Amino acid sequence: MGVFDDKQARDVIFRIKRGLCGYVSYLASCEMNQAFSEYVLYEPMLRILTARNYAVICEHICPGIEQPLRGDKKRLDFFASKEGSQFTIEVKWITSNRLSINSDTEKLQAFAQSTPGALAFLLLFGKKSLVSKAKVDKSIYKEWGTLVFADLRKTKYGCRVYRFRGAD
């Protein structure tokens, strides 16, 4: 993979945060709120990553984790790679003050341990009021950049990204 390019990853993560806030604000203007879930975020994230020349796999089977013999496999929301940069992103659309990320953390930890040199991210998205108050364990995660939000009067959405510290 070569030497990791921190600037390259920071740029694409910022573009994702900014793009998601604008995209969901647009969808809210179109009265699409009932369709909102983390899956609504996949298409704009995929477009942003591929526009920056990343090879992307959505719903990538998580390496380093024991998979069930039957039923759904544990999957990572996004795996992105290009020369000098390789990372995964777990996406969480926050709908309440209660944040449940144990399963996401388990997958990010397994990925980080089985993929040396790659980064693992947790992306939190939702109403600005919920995203701005979201608490993650600072011994496990470090915020990557700052909170980005779209404050378009009625629609106020925010996005934060945290780097899994196991990649340190």
pLDDT number for residue 59:
92
Residue 85 DSSP SS3: strand
- Are 110 and 104 spatial neighbours (Cβ–Cβ below 8 Å)? no
Q: What backbone torsions phi and psi does residue 46 show, to the nearest 5 degrees?
A: -60, -45
What element of type H or E holds 110? helix 102-114
pLDDT digits (tens, 9 = 90+) for 144-159: 999 999 887 777 899 9
Encoded tokens for 92: 């969480």
119 in a domain, yes or no? Answer: yes
1 in a domain, yes or no? Answer: no
19 in a domain, yes or no? Answer: yes
29 in a domain, yes or no? Answer: yes
155 in a domain, yes or no? Answer: yes
DSSP secondary structure letter of residue 22: H
Encoded tokens for 58: 């959505």
Number of structural domains (the chain) is 1
Flag whether the pTM goes above 0.75. yes
pLDDT digits (tens, 9 = 90+) for 68-88: 788 788 899 999 999 878 899
Q: State the Cα–Cα distance between residues 109 and 102, nearest whole angstrom.
A: 10
Domain that holds residue 69: 6-167
